[in-house]
A = this chain, B = another copy of it.
Amino acid sequence: MSPKERRSKIMESLATEGRVDIIQLSVVLNVTPMTIRRDFDVLEKQNKLIRTHGGAVPSQALIHEKTFELKSNISVQEKKMIAKHAVSFVSDGMTVLIDSGTTTLEIARLLKTHEQITVITNDIKIAAELMGSKLEVIILGGRLQTETGTLYGSLTENILKSIHVDLFFLGANAIHSSFGITTPTIDKSSLKREMIRTATETILVADSTKFNQKAFSKVCDLEDVSTIITDQQLSEELMEKYSELAEIIIAE
């Protein structure tokens, strides 16, 4: 039996029994108590259970897995796909900066079960999503845009100047082959620019509807991001056009 299988069986027991005993599990699953302990360690880090003395109980996070709806033009499914590819760039020990947005929110959801990752964000909805997780979460301070939950302004930018991250997931309103990446307000573009500056690597996550669009204020050129992740709705024509400017990954 694979570790994955065994852990799945542990979770099953946990769900049906309400609590499990290390010794009992070790007998049933034919492994030593130590192995069960190590399984508990793994599952606890994923917030799936709470270890007790001699056993474990289900975690509260597991009880109410509520996924509240997002409003968006593109299906959630596509954003989830993009997010799934995005998180494959993240590995243990990394410091990851996550921009505000709906696609980036999906990234945060997927990262929630990871371990050993520091997440930094300027979006309090992302922060809310990460409540209850075992991640190290840093919120950038700043002015709150009360309609969207985004933090921005000079305070936010100043804080960014004092930190550095390995990876930045950039969200975008508009992407254009010659105009580059643009946003509706100068504040936001200035902030995103600062975020790019402070990151070793920037990955742009944007669904296909954002391509060939331009907004008011320029963030950066396409050359400034290392990778673009988008969905399979991107036309062949656009795909070729943008491939010359940046590495494009189609999430499917």
Contacts and interface: CB of A to CB of B under 8 A. Distances in A.
Contacts of A147: 131-132
A217 B189 CA distance: 43
A191 to B, nearest CB: 13
Interface string A144-183: 1011010100011011001000000000000000000000
A94 interface: no
Contacts of A52: 50-53
Q: Would you call the interface of chain A mostly helix, strand, loop, or mixed?
A: mixed
Interface in A125-141: 127-128, 130-141
Contacts of A131: 144, 146-147, 149
Interface residues of A, number: 36
Contact of A144 (B137, B149, B151): B137
A158 to B, nearest CB: 8
Oligomeric state, in number of copies? 2
Contact of A128 (B51, B128, B135, B158): B128
Interface stretch (A58-66, A103-111, A204-212): A58-66
A142 interface: yes
A90 B91 CA distance: 47
Contacts of A132: 146-147
A181 to B, nearest CB: 25
Given A138-B155, A141-B159, A146 B133 contact: yes
Interface in A34-79: 50-53, 57-58, 60, 63-64
Contacts of A159: 141, 155, 159
Nearest to A158: B162
A128 to B, nearest CB: 6
A180 B138 CA distance: 31
Nearest to A148: B131
Contacts of A63: 60, 64
Contacts of A58: 60
A11 to B, nearest CB: 15
A53 B50 contact: no
A143 interface: yes
A251 interface: no
B146 A130 contact: yes
Interface of A: 50-53, 57-58, 60, 63-64, 124, 127-128, 130-144, 146-147, 149, 151, 155-156, 158-159, 162
